[in-house]
A and B are shown apart, each in its own frame.
Chain A
Amino acid sequence: MTLMAQDPATRPAAGDETPVVRITGLGKAFRRADGSVAKAIDDVSLDVRPGEFLVLLGPSGCGKTTLLRTIAGLERADTGSVALRGVEVFSAERGIDLPPERRRLSMIFQSYALWPHMTAFDNIAYPLRNARPRPDRATVEKRVQAALEMVGTPELARQYPNQMSGGQQQRIALARAIVGGDDLVLFDEPLSNVDAKVREQLRLELLALQRELGFAAVYVTHDQTEAMELAHRIAVMGDGRVRQLADPATVYRRPVSRYVANFVGTANELVGTVVRHGEGTTTLRTGLGEVTGVRAGLAVGDEAVAVFRPERTRLGADATSGNGNTWPAEVAAVLFLGAQTETVVKAGAHSFRLLGEHDVAEGEQTTVTVREADVLILPADG
């Protein structure tokens, strides 16, 4: 806690709803080599609240990194505005574009971006030494040491980056980001370059650090597990737009579109046409007959898709009768994953994935059931 500015005035009081970041109508287009225009960011608006951990999740090329860099001031948008702590730092309309050094935020880059000609100590001290007024030597020393201890690598102070392992470099980059006590830290896929074990470890440490220091974080990743674990809220991005912005559970259980359902977690799908609405339900006609799920705002005759999760899909014996969609199926593969077993079954031309302990063998004839409450009916496009 020694690192955060302790002055209560600089930290938002409880109930203060001035967002740390407010993005309004942001857009940015790139011209491709062939002359066509690609929208990297397409009319994005979102807020990041004080102390919130917001994850921008999406496949590569969805604009999430561009969005992050626009917040940092490393890239300039074409339209819209960015306000930090209630003050506009970018506005296409009003011609405002504050350079990165005046936005009072920290960022962790994918490559860590540690300066190879500086020791860990000098790397971490850099933001402090850029502050005006410049803190005295003793203060710099104390804060750098505190930051190093915070990330658990006090022994690295005199080392150069190329004498460190990837995980150690990552920690130094983290220390550099928190040393200034900024209330906003941006992360650009920081864990994509370390191996799985270290990644898991660093993720937990990062989470603890963020909750303890209370800075707001905007975190870019394409890894949905990472997003689920870290985020207060996830912004699922696709084609430069925010497709859904909600807490992890909602994004997973109630995806608003087929795109989100498929990107976050695994989804079983059945494409069909809406034939009728019932008591809180909607029924589709699909290749496997009628499928009923949670009522959706679609009209009869619309193209739609029924989506359900592997862990909500059941097999033969444990299928509860009635109030469900049941199809005969054949077990195509049983995949032992350690903690869980994944079963792949074929029903007609469709194949579904199931999670959970099922006592079946490959080639066995069985039935697949999914409860109506576990089936989401989503528009077929997007």
Chain B
Amino acid sequence: MPSVLTDLRPAPVRRPAARRPRGRRSSAFGRAGIGIAILFAILALYPLGAVVHRLLFSGGGFDLGPVQETLAEPGLGGLVVNTVLVVVASTAVALVIGTMLAWVNERTDARMGVLTDALPMVPFLLPPVAGAIGWVLLLSPRAGYVNSVLRDLLGTVGITMSDGPFDIYSWYGLILVYTIYQVPYAFMLASAGLRNLDPSLEEQSRVSGAGPLRTLRKVTMPGVKPSLAGAVLLMLWSGFGLFSIPAVIGTGADIDILSVRIVESLAEYPPRTGVAVGLSLIVVGFVALAWWGQRLVVGRGRHATVGGKGQRVSRIRLGRWRGPVRALMVLYLLVTTVLPLVALLIVSLTGFWTTKINWGALGFDALRRAIIQDSTTQEALLNSLGLGLLGATIGIGVAAVVALYVSKAGRLGRFLDGAIKFPSTLSHIVLAVGFVLALAGPPFELGGTLTILLLAYLALYLPQAAVAADAAVAQVGGELPEASRVGGAGEARTFRRIYLPLMLPGLITGWALLFVRMIGDLTASSILAGTGNPVVGFRILEIYQNGSYATLAALSTVLTVISCTVVLVVMVLSRRSARWSAPTTPTGAR
């Protein structure tokens, strides 16, 4: 079932490639692939080198100035504690919610087809900044729509309040929005883990006398532990790197978060690059710690990663609980995705933000004013779309070549593959800082250009493209191209007739993911874009600082609509290009 959302999941565990030809003479394809891979490995590693270099060798020689500067940063302890608290708390809550959603969806009869398969992933497609603003519109203490509705309800029972009951500008508000953006990771990896777990392990447990809950605790959960560890790692990583949510909500709540401070210290004049680098490395430290922890969990190797190939799972019948469980799932999906979207839509169509929704005042005038008549916004939008189109196309192309011809080509290939995927272990903030250090100044002088944004987007999002491309290659398998070679087709023809059509659905999906990520990027854009090269993310921050929520909502809405349209179109395209994969009338027993 290739759908955009389900295909965002990582590749299934690949069996050891024992039968892959090794040491084969290098072909033109292979050599070109290695060349491209080297370029992109440099693109990923060079800025990181620049970060480390800046930290240790600022004044020509070895100099710990930036380190001391960082340690002397006011409120450093509180900054670190706040960040860790928010990220760890949201990760823990998201892990529970995401795993529960995944288990209900994969193992019980409460599953509701595409709705529950795909909707938990939707936050992936909404730029976090749009979500953050949507939640402000909903839960702002005085004017938030939800608060307003709740106050009216409470008023009918005689309780009157002037604001509240909820406040988005608070610890729980911040953690709530973080959590909503973390859940897709947990859901995605837990689902993949559950699907790859051999169902007969669970059936054996049931047959051996364990009930569904005991089976869940004793067999299922230990079986998917590596997946969950992976999810925790991803969530910690993305959590430390999240910028737009703390920028919008944390600032209002007076909660200092590392990523915001990093961007601020770069935005000041003169920019305090040393401090930004030092703080970035604290982030790297935490991610490294999480990575080490994940290795500890996974490395014990007692997890049978069985390649479950579409085995039929006997779903647990929930009986009379099925209705309530389904209702809860739908409620969760409504609250986390539909509600903020509706709020954004209302504000952008009204043109201003008031507590009382004036349904008659809805119209496209405000939207037009905010987008079409504002030349800077228009330029930013066009720049973002252009960068998205170009970046996604280059990115997925490179990822496909690397997955096909490089990652299997001996030690160099594995190194290049790792180097290209390396940024995924780091926070985006760090890499963006690296791009400033490495490319903005002499000799490249790329600061304030669209080129530096394109390069940064590529380096940042290539790991995600690589995941999509690896999955696409894994789907093709080893024997299909081999059969083509034996059938008399050369390498080029095999690529054209076998690899390309088989990988196309996966690559299209990957392309859409990249496009959505690039046009919605705020992290790199906040650091690398300026008035000379505005992009949507940058423009959003600018408008936010000026405090116009209507414009903000308008831009967020447009961004979301574009993202969703692209994803929908791609879903249709990818289905169509993979029509052969849906059996219509099976003849004979399978």
A104 to B491, CA, bound (A): 16
Whether the pair A127, B485 counts as a contact (CB closer than 8 A) is no
Residues on the A chain within 8 Å of B24, using CB? 76
Q: How far is the CB of B501 from chain A (nearest CB, A)?
A: 5
Q: Is B320's beta carbon under 8 Å from chain A?
A: no
Set A100, A117, A163: member contacting B482, Cβ < 8 A: A100
Q: In the bound complex, do residue A117 and residue B502 qualify as a contact, i.e. CB atoms below 8 Å apart? A: yes
Given A115-B498, A116-B502, A167-B588, A109 and B487 touching (CB < 8 A)? no
With known contacts A74-B21, A115-B480, A116-B581, A105–B486 Cβ distance under 8 A: yes
B35: interface (CB < 8 Å): no
CB neighbors of B among A87-137 (8 A): 97, 99-101, 103-107, 109-111, 113, 115-118, 126-127, 130-131
- Contact A126–B489 (Cβ < 8 Å): yes
Verify A99–B485 contact, CB threshold 8 A: yes
Q: Are B588 and A99 neighbours in the complex by a CB distance under 8 Å?
A: no
> In the complex, which residues of chain A have a beta carbon less than 8 angstroms from the beta carbon of B580?
116-118, 160, 162
User: Nearest chain A CB to B79's CB is how many angstroms away?
Assistant: 44
CB–CB B488/A127 < 8 A: yes
Please, which residues of chain B bring their CB within 8 A of the CB of A203? none
CB of A39 within 8 Å of the partner chain: no
CA distance A109 to B480 in the complex (A): 9
Nearest B residue to A97, CB-CB: B25
B162 contacts A by Cβ under 8 Å: no
Interface string of B269-280 (1 = CB under 8 A from A): 000000000000
Q: Tell me whether B590 is interfacial, beta carbon within 8 Å.
A: yes
A252-285, CB < 8 A from B: none
- B590 / chain A contacts, CB cutoff of 8 Å: 165-166
User: Is residue A22 within 8 Å, beta carbon to beta carbon, of the partner chain?
Assistant: no
Return the chain B residue nearest A109 by Cβ. Answer: B479
Chain B residues near A166 (CB-CB < 8 A): 590
The one of A97, A100, A116, A160 in contact with B486, judged by C-beta atoms closer than 8 angstroms, is: A100
Q: Which parts of B464-517 form the interface with A (CB within 8 Å)?
A: 477, 479-480, 482-491, 493, 497-498, 501-502
A230 at the interface (CB under 8 A from B): no
Residues of A within 8 A of B484 (CB): 115, 126
Q: Are A111 and B477 in contact (CB under 8 A)?
A: yes
CA distance A107 to B488 in the complex (A): 11
Partner of A163, one of B493, B501, B587: B587
Q: Return the chain B residue nearest A106 by Cβ.
A: B486
Is B545 interfacial (CB-CB < 8 Å)? no
Select B487's contact among A116, A117, A127, A163, beta carbons within 8 Å: A127
A360 within 8 A of B: no
Q: Chain A: how many interface residues by the 8 Å CB criterion?
A: 41
In this assembly, does A140 line the interface, its C-beta being within 8 Å of a C-beta of chain B?
A: no
- Closest residue to A33 on the B side, CB-wise? B16
Q: Is the CB of A176 within 8 A of B487?
A: yes
B486/A74 in contact, CB under 8 A: yes
A69 interfacial contact with B, CB 8 Å: yes
Counting CB contacts under 8 A, is A159 at the interface?
Answer: yes
Bound Cα distance A113, B480 (Å): 5
Which A residues are CB-close (under 8 A) to B22? 75-76
Contact B479 A159 (CB under 8 A): no
Please indicate which of the listed interface residues A100, A110, A162 has the most CB atoms of chain B within 10 Å of its own CB. Answer: A100
Task: Enumerate chain B residues within 8 angstroms of A167, measured Cβ to Cβ.
Answer: 588
With a CB–CB cut-off of 8 A, which chain A residues contact B578?
A: 117
| Chain A window 145-176, contacts with chain B (Cβ cutoff 8 Å), 1 for yes, 0 for no | 00000000000100110111111100000001
Given contacts A74-B486, A117-B580, A111 and B589 within 8 Å (CB-CB)? no
Q: With A and B bound together, what is the CA distance between A176 and B486 in angstroms?
A: 11
Asked whether, in the complex, the Cβ of A159 is within 8 Å of the Cβ of B483, the reply is no
**Considering the chains assembled together, what is the distance between the CA atoms of A10 and B36 in angstroms?**
45
Asked if B584 is at the interface (CB within 8 A of a chain A CB), the reply is yes
- Chain B residues near A180 (CB, 8 Å)? 487-488
Among residues of B, the one whose C-beta sits closest to the C-beta of A107 is B486
Closest to B502 in A: A117
Convert B13-34 into 0s and 1s, putting 1 for each residue whose CB lies closer than 8 angstroms to a CB of A: 0000001011111000000000
* Alpha-carbon distance between A131 and B497 when the two chains are bound, in angstroms: 15
Which residue on B lies nearest to A104, using beta carbons?
Answer: B488
CB distance A101 to B490 under 8 Å?
yes
In the complex the two chains form, what is the Cα distance from A106 to B487 in whole Å?
Answer: 6
Residue among B488, B497, B498 having the largest count of chain A Cβ atoms under 10 Å: B488
Asked if A101 and B488 sit within 8 Å, CB to CB, the answer is yes
* B586 interface contact, C-beta 8 A: yes
User: Residue A20 at the B interface, CB < 8 A?
Assistant: no
> Are B587 and A165 in contact (CB-based, < 8 A)?
yes
* Separation of A111 and B482 alpha carbons in the complex (Å): 12
A72 close to B (CB within 8 Å)? yes
Known: A76-B22, A100-B482, A162-B580. A131 touches B588 (CB 8 A): no
Structural contact, A115 and B502, CB atoms closer than 8 A: yes
CA distance A72 to B21 in the complex (A): 11
Residues of chain B within 8 A (CB-CB) of A75 are 19, 21-22
B585 touches A (CB below 8 Å): yes
In the assembled complex, the Cα of A105 lies from the Cα of B485 at a distance in Å of 10
How far is the CB of A175 from the nearest CB of chain B, in Å?
A: 12
Beta-carbon contact of B479 and A130 below 8 Å: no
Asked if A168 and B482 make an inter-chain contact with CB atoms under 8 angstroms apart, the answer reads no
A65 at the interface (CB under 8 A from B): yes
- Give the CA-CA distance A316 to B370 in the complex, in Å: 103
Bound-state CA distance A109–B489 (Å) is: 16
Q: For B20, give the chain A residue with the smallest CB separation.
A: A75
B583 interface residue (CB < 8 Å to A): yes
The answer to whether residues A163 and B583 also contact, given A76-B21, A111-B477 and a CB cut-off of 8 A, is: yes
| Given A65-B19, A163-B587, A165-B589: A113 in contact with B488 (beta carbons within 8 A) | no
- Distance, CA A72 to CA B23, complexed state (A): 16
For A107, give its contact among B480, B483, B584 (CB under 8 Å): B483
Residue of A nearest to B578 (CB): A117
CB < 8 Å neighbour of B501 from A99, A113, A117, A131: A117
Whole-angstrom distance from the CB of B405 to the nearest CB of chain A? 15
Q: Are A109 and B587 in contact (CB under 8 A)?
A: no
Contacts of B502 in A (CB 8 A): 115-117
**How far is B22's CA from A97's CA once the two chains are assembled, in angstroms?**
13
B197 to chain A, nearest CB (A): 23
How long is the Cα–Cα vector from A353 to B312 in the complex, in angstroms?
Answer: 41
Q: How far is the CB of A381 from the nearest CB of chain B, in Å? A: 29
- Which of B482, B484, B588 has its CB near the most chain A CB atoms (within 10 A)? B482
- Min CB distance B132 to A, Å, is 42
Q: Which residues of A contact B487 (CB under 8 A)?
A: 101, 106, 126-127, 130, 176, 180
Q: Is the CB of B493 within 8 A of A130?
A: yes
Q: Which residues of B contact A176 (CB under 8 A)?
A: 483, 487
Task: State how many angstroms separate the Cβ of B452 from the closest Cβ of chain A.
Answer: 40
Closest chain A residue, CB of each to CB of B25: A97
> What separation, in Å, do the CA atoms of A76 and B25 have in the docked complex?
9
Q: List chain B residues, Cβ under 8 A from A72.
A: 482, 486
In the bound complex, CA of A160 to CA of B491 (Å): 24
Task: Give complex CA distance A307, B490 in Å.
Answer: 51
In the complex, chain B residues whose CB is within 8 Å of the CB of A107: 482-483, 486
B93-133 CB contacts (< 8 Å) to partner A: none
B488 surroundings in chain A (CB, below 8 A) = 101, 104, 127, 130-131, 180
List which B535-590 residues lie within 8 A (CB) of chain A.
Answer: 578, 580-581, 583-590
Question: In whole angstroms, how far apart are the Cα atoms of A103 and B489 in the complex?
Answer: 11
Name, among B477, B486, B490, B491, the residue most crowded by chain A CB atoms within 10 Å (CB to CB): B486
Closest to B586 in A: A163
Contact A164/B588 with A74-B485, A115-B502 known, Cβ cut-off 8 Å: yes
- Supposing A165-B590, A168-B588 touch, asked if A113 and B479 sit within 8 A by C-beta, the answer is yes
5 tightest Cβ-Cβ pairs between the two chains A and B: A130-B488, A165-B588, A113-B483, A100-B485, A113-B479
Please list 7 pairs of residues, one from A and one from B, whose beta carbons are closer than 8 Å in the complex, sorted by A's number: A107-B482, A115-B502, A116-B580, A159-B587, A165-B590, A167-B588, A168-B587
A75-B19, A109-B482, A166-B590 are known; give 17 further A-B pairs, CB within 8 A. A65-B19, A72-B486, A73-B485, A73-B486, A74-B21, A100-B486, A101-B488, A101-B489, A113-B483, A118-B580, A126-B484, A126-B487, A131-B488, A163-B583, A163-B586, A165-B589, A168-B588
